[in-house]
Chain A
Amino acid sequence: MGTGHGGVQTGNALRRAGWVGPITLVGAEKHLPYQRPPLSKSCADAEALDDLALFHPAAHYDSVGVDLELGAQVVGIDRDGSEVELHSGRRLAYDHLVLALGSRPRPVPVAGCGLAGVHTLRTLDDARWISARLRTAGSVVLVGGGFIGLELATVAARLGKRVTVVEAAPRLLHGAVTPVTGQFLTERHTAAGVRLRLGEAVDRITGVDGAVRSVLTASGDELSADLVVVCVGAVPNCELARAAGLPVDDGILVDYDLVTADPAISAIGDCARFPYGNRRVRLSSVQNAFDGATHVARRLTSGAGGYAPVPWFWSDQAGVKVQMAGLPTALHGGLGSGPEEQLDVEGDVAGGSFSVHRYVDGRFVGGESVGMPRAHLAMRRRLAAERASAVPLAG
């Protein structure tokens, strides 16, 4: 269930692993399955975006033997009858069910979010809408200085818009990257003409005749805006699992093999919370959806055990590609709550070619790099080697 990165890769990986039974991908969206990362990076050109984002042409699914049920919202899971119920009333039987339901934009509790010209970004339809709006907008305000907000800011600035990012935290990508990379990106965005309002909360969004006019900040500033995109994170889609009686805690809870409390149901990608070392984490990344799907496919075909991923992530913004390896900094100390991180910076930060290695208690936990793809791969190999020796795989 779900035709995003996790769902599509589940079908592909199952076939590659030799699964011979029928596979059906069921998804609420009507589009052929597509990838989300280009939506925030390439939304300047709606037509190019459709091509860029598409996973596979329709013929691919026929050729590998995967049935698509598109525009099919699942409204219930009947675990006793091993069936899912669609919005249309149809029921589909399953032997094994993979929940790859993704997440949705986190709502912000400020007035004015319903005004025309205020949007969030998750789907291709959202991206097309933003793309059209970008053509005419003069001023763009991004609420939230996370990856999506900063990628959109990059696109809008390149189109010559007046762009402001309002971020409640004192620095960009707080909890996602180290201060070194955060500061580097702050300088790059500023140099590109993006105005950054850090440590500033949004009070409300004002409008005229139902259309957005400005964003009011908590400190009383008024930022005029023809387009506001609210990018303050995402919440996992777990309602179906909860209604079916499966344990949920900010993500559908799964074991080391990504199996839920019901052995006939797995959960992967943005909607799942899985054990990682001595904690449970939920990751929203292509890596996690893709590797989780590959793991479930292997498990269903050969019984191989233990999902032990090396997290990685990338973001294209401010004219550079930032590559990250390991858990986000917020999940690995460095914020005062856990052990402090030590950073080892190599290369030329100002020149945009550098790497940052993060250590906690002397142990390498990941890092970031810009303009050094080899350093990024070396970090991932090192994490894989350390995980192989350190993580207990028995759930």
Chain B
Amino acid sequence: MTTDLKAATTMNLTIDVAKCCGSGQCVMAAPDVFDQDDDGVAFLLDQTPPDTERANVDEAIASCPTGAITVVDG
């Protein structure tokens, strides 16, 4: 039985661009993970961000007004 702390769960993010309204909430909460194109549509700078981003990503998901961001822990 081994416990590998470095291999803690990774987050795997997706954005439903059809739902995204361009609010920028995610960019404000986690600027190293999310960005927006010129039409305001969000895209991922990092699809599997490190665990140090978890609090920011949680905040981004919770503050997304359209529920466009989903995270799967892998």
Contacts and interface: CB of A to CB of B under 8 A. Distances in A.
B45 to A, nearest CB: 14
B39 A371 contact: yes
A154 interface: no
B40 interface: yes
A381 B27 CA distance: 12
A376 B18 CA distance: 20
B27 A323 contact: no
A122 interface: no
A52 B18 contact: yes
A33 to B, nearest CB: 10
Given A321-B39, A371-B38, A12 B62 contact: yes
Interface residues of A, number: 28
A372 B65 contact: no
B38 A314 contact: no
Interface string B1-37: 0000000000000000011011110011000000011
A286 B65 contact: yes
B40 A373 contact: yes
A302 interface: no
Contacts of B19: 52
B38 A323 contact: no
B67 interface: yes
A353 B40 CA distance: 12
B67 A373 contact: no
Contacts of B63: 294
Nearest to A285: B65
Interface string A259-299: 00000000000000000000000000011001000100000
A55 interface: yes
Q: Is the interface of A mostly helix, strand, loop or mixed?
A: helix
B57 to A, nearest CB: 14
A323 B28 CA distance: 16
Q: How large is the interface on B (under 10, 10 to 19, 20 to 34, 35 or more residues)?
A: 10 to 19
Contacts of B36: 373-374
Nearest to A48: B18
B62 A314 contact: no
Given A55-B67, A56-B67, A373-B38, A323 B62 contact: no
Interface string A284-320: 0011001000100000000000000000101000000
Contacts of B66: 35, 37, 286
B22 A377 contact: no
A374 B28 CA distance: 10
A286 B21 contact: yes
A314 B23 contact: yes
Nearest to A56: B67
Interface string A1-27: 000010001001100100000000000
Contact of B22 (A5, A55, A314): A314
Contact of A353 (B18, B24, B38, B62): B38
Contact of A323 (B18, B22, B65, B67): B22
B24 A373 contact: yes
A46 B26 CA distance: 28
B10 to A, nearest CB: 21
24 contacts: A9-B65, A35-B66, A37-B66, A48-B18, A52-B18, A52-B19, A56-B67, A287-B23, A287-B65, A294-B63, A314-B21, A321-B22, A321-B39, A321-B40, A323-B40, A371-B38, A371-B39, A372-B38, A373-B22, A373-B38, A373-B39, A373-B40, A376-B40, A380-B28
Interface of B: 18-19, 21-24, 27-28, 36-40, 62-63, 65-67
Smallest CB-CB A-B distances: 3 pairs: A373-B40, A373-B36, A377-B24
Given A312-B23, A323-B22, A376-B24, 20 more contacts: A5-B65, A16-B62, A37-B21, A37-B66, A52-B18, A52-B19, A55-B67, A286-B23, A286-B65, A294-B63, A314-B22, A321-B39, A321-B40, A353-B38, A371-B38, A373-B24, A373-B36, A373-B40, A377-B27, A377-B28
